[in-house]
Chain A
Amino acid sequence: MPGDLREGRIVIVGASLAGLRAAEKLREEGFTGSLTVVGDEPHPPYDRPPLSKQVLLGMSAAGTTGLPMRRDPDADWRLGVRATGLDPVGRQVLLADGESLPYDRLLVATGTRARPWPQREQAALDGVFTLRTRDDAGRLAERLAAGPRRVLVIGAGFTGSEIASACRERGIEVTVAERGTAPLVGALGGTLAKLAAGLQRAHGVDLRCGVTVTALRGDKAGRFTGANLSDGSHIDADVCVIALGAVRNVEWLADSGLAAGPHGVACDAGCRAFDMYGIVTDDIFVAGDVSRFPHPLFDYQMLSLEHWGNAVAQAEVAAHNMVSPGPPRRPHLAVPVFWSSQFGVNIKSVGVPTYSDQVVIAQGSLSERRLVAVYGYRGRITAAVTVNMAKWLEYYQELIETAAPFPPTPGAADGHPLVTEFALPSDVPDPQGLSHGPTVALTGHLPDRRLAVVRPAG
């Protein structure tokens, strides 16, 4: 490694939120060498959360969600070209256009993509969409603006629910099909999932839970016309959105020898990638949705997150560590936080709600649709979720960070004594039984040594 870490060649693979923030942070930390950012989409970094909200509502055009820079990172942007391989010995990133990019240090920030509908021919029907990219959102928004008779959303995780919410706000009929017992159950557990189901129905969503979609149907012209459900029923619709969660973009690392698997690329608390033998690398760092990192608050299990805030925080730690030798390096210890706005409510979460055995409603109530739910695992607080009560969240974050006992001390002014003192099972289902993937997952203690990279057939 060169003597001065503020010089040399840094390549960032991934030109979205984590890639941009890392690039800015590298410059802020005094990196003066060459900086190259590779992105497979042709667009400069843009913000994804608005794609399932403002863009579908018609508030913002898909092309306007470009992320503002904190500072110009003075980078060479290689956009519209995919990274296809990594040679960690020769220190080169291989690109789809045949070029190879030499590096001294590398940041892997390739994120995720939408999990596709497994039946290829059905997925190719006109009117069947996934929603991950700006182009996806633009096409879907256009279709919604044309006034479809009914939209079918498959999967009731956060993205699927937000899409359904946008449809209803636009006055479009929508059916949501979810294999689990309720929307958001994989992320929030059974108690709040009931609230989510109530919200959807109150807003006129035709919500079908406990069913799977067995086939998408099309007409002779190849247009989507509806779907068959496992309960024998049929849905007629002219738009279908597949919201089955995300797939980590790790295939390009299949031959790299890194610990890259379906849950992402394993790294240490300082964002340094592990290789397949569990040895930490010196020159390859990981940040954002594609990473899998150990967290002390969750027994050092490896966390996989698809959270905006994590992408920013981890990118900054990775960038700092890429230009800092030894002791000044920092750990990435941020407590996971995410939000979702749907059906006129704001849901915010801190910690890992699925890392729980019990839950209490500490403030507010389910009936008001304003509440704070606090989650505990073996007697300590591990997460809190607010519904339209975001101003209280940082109090509970403090409790999580200090491993405060569960249930929390009662006595909140707006707590209901008979409720706050009785913890319920948190009722977190096995993600295998859900249509939607959880956006946060604890994935055990070991870097994935089996290199179980899923390769699409063909």
Chain B
Amino acid sequence: MRLVVDLTRCQAYAQCVFLAPRMFELHGEEALLYRQEVPEDQLERVRQAAAACPVQAILVGEAVSAGAR
């Protein structure tokens, strides 16, 4: 699974960092960086983060598969 954060919407409430600190990081007070690839053991936390995002900016889903043609 992959995740992407719509940082256009993000207002740095950091709920995702609290709920899935291995996937999301704040650099300074507001700059949000995250890992795109969601390992199996982080999926539940990432889903919680997506549900909790106050501006609903987190999308979790499958990537287009590399063999697509």
Contact = CB atoms under 8 A, between A and B. Distances in A.
A and B together in one complex: yes
Contacts of B32: 341, 346
A47 B36 contact: yes
Contact of A393 (B11, B27, B35, B66): B11
Contacts of B44: none
A76 B66 CA distance: 13
Nearest to B3: A68
Contact of B8 (A54, A64, A339): A339
Interface residues of A, number: 47
26 contacts: A20-B64, A44-B65, A44-B66, A45-B64, A54-B34, A59-B33, A60-B37, A64-B2, A66-B63, A66-B64, A67-B2, A68-B62, A69-B61, A70-B61, A79-B69, A308-B7, A312-B8, A339-B7, A341-B32, A343-B28, A346-B12, A346-B32, A390-B12, A390-B30, A391-B11, A391-B13
Contacts of B19: none
B10 interface: yes
A343 B31 CA distance: 9
Contacts of A64: 2, 35-37
B39 to A, nearest CB: 11
A345 B59 contact: no
Given A54-B33, A346-B30, A390 B66 contact: no
A43 to B, nearest CB: 7
Nearest to B68: A77
A45 B61 CA distance: 13
B33 A67 contact: no
Contacts of A272: none
A212 interface: no
A44 B65 CA distance: 7
Interface in A362-395: 370, 388, 390-391, 393-394
Interface in A389-439: 390-391, 393-394
A59 B2 CA distance: 15
A102 interface: no
A65 B2 CA distance: 8
Nearest to A71: B61
Contacts of A44: 63-66, 68
Contacts of B7: 49, 308, 339
A99 to B, nearest CB: 13
Contacts of B36: 47, 50, 54, 60, 64-66
In the A-B complex, the 9 residue pairs with the closest CB atoms: A344-B28, A309-B8, A341-B31, A68-B61, A66-B63, A346-B30, A44-B64, A77-B68, A64-B37
B63 A69 contact: yes
Contacts of A391: 11-13
A434 to B, nearest CB: 24
B11 A390 contact: yes
Interface string B16-30: 000000000101111
Contact of B28 (A49, A66, A307, A345): A345
B62 A69 contact: yes
A57 interface: yes
Interface residues on B, range: 20 to 34
Nearest to A47: B4
A341 B31 CA distance: 5
B33 A337 contact: no
A342 B62 CA distance: 29
Question: Chain B binding site: helix, strand, loop or mixed by DSSP?
Answer: loop
Contacts of A342: 31
A295 to B, nearest CB: 16
A320 interface: no
Interface string A167-209: 0010000000000000000000000000000000000000000
Given A44-B66, A78-B69, A393-B11, A68 B2 contact: yes
A298 interface: no
Given A69-B64, A70-B59, A339-B7, 10 more contacts: A64-B36, A68-B63, A308-B6, A308-B8, A337-B8, A341-B31, A346-B29, A346-B31, A370-B29, A388-B29
A338 interface: yes
Contacts of A263: none
Contacts of B27: 169, 341, 344
B60 interface: yes
B10 A339 contact: yes
A312 B6 contact: yes
A117 B64 CA distance: 33
B40 to A, nearest CB: 15
Contacts of A344: 27-28, 31
A404 B35 CA distance: 39
A53 interface: yes
B45 to A, nearest CB: 16
A76 B12 contact: no
Interface string A205-239: 00000000000000000000000000000000000
